[in-house]
Chains A and B, each alone.
Chain A
């Protein structure tokens, strides 16, 4: 009797609840209808799915631009920005987004991430290694540098000046290297410049100056690098000068906290920092002396916007565009009438890795274990075949993340092998591979035992964060169960970010309890994957393979200056990773950036840096209808 009342109550409750829900969805429909008039290219495909191909990465211009105007840029972050506003010292992403507006690298790169000669400086590779540098080196090292090294001559344009009117000089560029190599330097960029001849000696206090850097005249600089490789020209050069006339007399460990970095930062970009409210906003005015020409906008206001209110701020026209947009909020706001969404492929992928060894901290080397639980390549292949990432992308991310095929994401169009399909979803094949490998269901409970007929449990480490983390992990576990593998969440729960990376081995202390893990990598602008899959700490799967070493070395060899050759090498490498599966990529991702309709000449294309051309068509941003 009691039960009946309870179920009645429950029914009543559900009814009320569903009424509320329908009421809500009605409202939603209405909003959609009114938005239809200002419809954009963002078309909805079957069942609310989207595709990155429907987005442009450059803003379409509408109307006529006005003189001047102010652009409001929302820095989307739930934390205050750190305010280390100098390229040589920053390490937070919000700071970088602010830096982009008032300072820039001396060398610009193109869509393939290769340095061009269109930037504030141009470069030319010398025919041979600078004799002046070789002279100063001990004979043995000189021979080595002569053989493998390269000298590059940089010329800074004459009209490139700091915001205070002083020219940007070769001295400033050399000074940046000296500061970074200084043992008291408190930033994280030292690893970026160790390829310069003499930097290590300077860092260790064995030399008073950096041998490899020669200041030829005010605007000309020669830098000699130890290793010549194609990677050098895709992000291997430190291109951010440091104003010596300002920071020259400052103790190196005091620069990052100085007024000239935090309150009145200096650069040579299109805008000049006017005022800063620490942690929340920055106002910039135009730099009339900008070397690419006077900016069209009068000013730019950057302020921190919490991700929870970013949609409202955009609808209200409080901000014109944002540093990043939470893609999961897109489907509900796809029809926002006052913005155009720009899209690009993120330089990142999500992946699942298999633990195949451990890290030897003493020798700084990975230590593969041939007897690891996941050591059988067929097991790993089967686990890839067992998951349907296409559906995952559609169901969890509305198509804004999609099935990944290889470990070089399509954000690197030159090197991503589009013909390589990875391993497709094929549970039958997965079962067959497992049978072949000897993982058979001995006791008939639907779960496979290991090769010796013992119970076989795989521990899966996955990170918490976001609404999808848990259902996603559950989906994978379910998918593996369908082919008969018993996968369990490590400790029965998701791992918090810090714990996750500690246990996976970010400091080399791998937790042996982890068998497989789900992580994500943002990849550098250089395609070379050695930093993730070579003999390095971040090779979390601790996988080692001679063929892999060989291909990685070939990819950055002198021969690889020939793009076709390099492509071939990386195609082979992508296939090797599909064959060996030390990790497998699961999803590629889209970046979406809404931009108010009044904004012109805005782009999120890689290497785009024409901020002086940005203009607006009205004083105030347009509001959503």
Chain B
């Protein structure tokens, strides 16, 4: 397995370099640059021109790329023009927020998905199953940003159960228990909104997989051996049905690291998705390229993780 992982990581390097070049060129092809937003009669155009020159925005793209990549190799992701701070620091701030939001979302997603999936698979074509599949269809159909707004309105504003924006209550000392609790409290509603929608595909996978497995011969054998119904479901069927979920696990993580642009914007939650979108809109190139690089690395790592998890869940799969 180690050999396999190492090989995967090595093949990843040219992929990432290629990715970074493509992203860099695409970013440069976008109209405007970080200084376009400063069109303001109160700011002297020659100052802007000077800044443009100083930032190297007038150089050809390959020179800018060379500058940037040599910085990256030295561990320097550059300086964000908009935030006037090192990109690595900026990304770290946001990554922490997004990471915890993702963990909570994942936990809630599986907490919902597994029992619902099992119930609806085990008792398929009953009323319980119909209700659950009904929910999944609604989940598929509901656009996340509208759903999130509705959730925010009901639970945040109308019932007043949850805070309605930000990642933590202003003015709490970092590091205290209060701070931690406040962070979790602020994350709950966005995480729940996202989980309620993103869980539906997992429920569906699990359901169809269980229905499929239920009819396999080895289940018949297990029953013939006299295994109890709960043993049959929990040991034989469930374990075999988890395969597709495990396969998706790694991807799901990399998807969540990218953050949810909708969720983060609606809940005013400063995470990676929001940062990414704004950096594109403001043409903050150093941040955009650094983020894409990061997303690329996470996606590749995520698929590696998926493979490894898969091999653990299903010993028949051997990775070499």
Which residues of A does B touch, CB under 8 Å? 78-80, 82-84, 89, 91-92, 186, 188-192, 194, 235, 256-257, 262, 274-275, 277-283, 301-306, 308-309, 312-313, 315-316, 318, 364, 496-499, 501-503, 506-507, 521-524, 531-532, 536-538
- Report whether A277 and B36 are in contact in the complex, using a CB–CB cutoff of 8 Å: no
**A498 close to B170 (CB less than 8 A):** no
Contact between A316 and B84, CB atoms less than 8 A apart: no
Q: Known pairs A194-B44, A537-B45. 14 more at Cβ < 8 A? A: A262-B85, A275-B173, A280-B170, A280-B269, A281-B166, A283-B171, A301-B170, A303-B165, A304-B268, A308-B149, A316-B157, A497-B36, A521-B41, A524-B41
- Across the interface, do A279 and B270 meet the contact criterion of CB distance under 8 Å? yes
Alpha-carbon separation in the docked complex, A501 to B39 (Å): 9
B41's partner among A89, A280, A532 (CB-CB below 8 A) is A532
Judging by beta carbons under 8 Å apart, are B84 and A190 in contact? no
Known contacts A79-B274, A188-B43; is-contact A280 B152 (Cβ 8 Å): no
Number of interface residues of B (CB under 8 A): 52
| Known A188-B51, A506-B36: A280·B166 in contact at CB below 8 Å | yes
In the complex, the chain A residue whose C-beta lies closest to that of B267 is: A306
Q: Give 6 CB contacts A-B under 8 Å.
A: A80-B274, A83-B83, A309-B149, A309-B152, A531-B42, A532-B41
- Judge whether B283 is part of the interface by a CB distance below 8 angstroms: yes
**Is B266 located at the chain interface by the 8 A CB criterion?**
yes
Within the complex, the shortest CB–CB distance from A439 to chain B, in Å, comes to: 33
B269 to chain A, nearest CB (A): 8
Residue of chain A at shortest CB distance from B46:
A191
Q: Is B165 within 8 A of A305, CB to CB?
A: yes
> What mask results when residues 46 to 87 of chain B are scored 1 for a CB within 8 Å of chain A, else 0?
111011100000000000000000000000000100111110
- In Å, the complex CA distance between A408 and B30 comes to 34
When distances are taken between beta carbons in the complex, the residues of chain B under 8 Å from A279 are 93-94, 270
B38 and A312 form a contact (CB under 8 A): no
Output the nearest chain B residue to A316 by Cβ-Cβ distance.
Answer: B157
CB-CB nearest in chain B for A506: B39
The residue from A306, A499, A501 contacting B268, defined by CB atoms under 8 A apart: A306
When distances are taken between beta carbons in the complex, the residues of chain B under 8 Å from A501 are 32, 36, 39
Given the complex, which residues of B lie within 8 Å of A522, measured CB to CB? Answer: 40-41
**In the complex, which residue of chain A has the Cβ closest to the Cβ of B80?**
A82
Among candidates B41, B52, B93, B278, residue contacting A538 with C-beta atoms closer than 8 Å: B41
Residue pair B270, A538 in contact (C-beta under 8 Å): no
Residue of A nearest to B94 (CB): A279
Min CB distance B90 to A, Å, is: 9
Chain B residues within CB distance 8 Å of chain A: 30-32, 36, 38-48, 50-52, 79, 82-86, 89, 93-94, 149, 152-153, 156-157, 160, 164-168, 170-173, 265-270, 274-275, 278, 283
**Are A188 and B38 closer than 8 Å at their CB atoms?**
yes
Chain A residues whose C-beta falls within 8 Å of the C-beta of B79 in the assembled complex: 257
Chain B nearest Cβ from A352, distance in angstroms = 17
- Contact residues in A for B47 (Cβ distance below 8 Å): 188-191
Q: Looking at the complex, which one of A275, A280, A364, A498 makes contact with B36 (CB distance below 8 Å)?
A: A498
Bound Cα distance A306, B153 (Å):
13
Do residues A84 and B168 form an inter-chain contact, with CB atoms below 8 A?
no
Least Cβ–Cβ distance between A498 and chain B, in angstroms: 3
Which residue of A has the minimal Cβ distance to B167? A280
Q: Check A524 against B36 for contact (C-beta < 8 Å).
A: no
On whether A82 and B83 interact (CB within 8 A), knowing A188-B47, A309-B165, the answer reads yes
Q: Which residues of A contact B170 (CB under 8 A)?
A: 275, 277, 280-283, 301-303
Chain B residues within an 8 Å CB radius of A79:
274, 278
Task: Find chain A residues with CB under 8 A from B85 CB.
Answer: 83, 256-257, 262
Q: How far is the CB of B64 from chain A (nearest CB, A)?
A: 16
Given contact pairs A318-B164, A499-B32, A312 touches B268 in the complex (Cβ within 8 A): no
CA distance A507 to B42 in the complex (A): 16
Shortest Cβ distance from A623 into chain B, in angstroms? 10
Query: Which residues of chain A are near B156, meaning CB under 8 Å?
Result: 312
Which among A191, A278, A281, A308 is the interface contact of B44 at CB below 8 angstroms? A191
Residues of chain A lying within 8 A (CB to CB) of residue B168: 277, 280-281
The answer on a CB contact under 8 Å between B266 and A191 is: no
Closest 5 CB pairs between A and B? Answer: A191-B44, A498-B32, A283-B171, A281-B170, A279-B270
Neighbouring A residues of B51 by C-beta, 8 Å: 188
Contacts of A91 in B (CB 8 A): 38
Write out the residue numbers on chain B whose beta carbons fall within 8 Å of the beta carbon of A503.
31
User: Of A192, A256, A275, A280, which one neighbours B270 at CB under 8 angstroms?
Assistant: A280
Chain A's nearest CB lies how many Å from the CB of B282?
8
Please, which residues of chain A bring their CB within 8 A of the CB of B152? 309
Give CA–CA (A502, B50) in the complex, Å. 17
Shortest Cβ distance from residue B270 to the other chain A in the assembled complex, whole angstroms:
4
**A247 smallest CB distance to B (angstroms):** 14
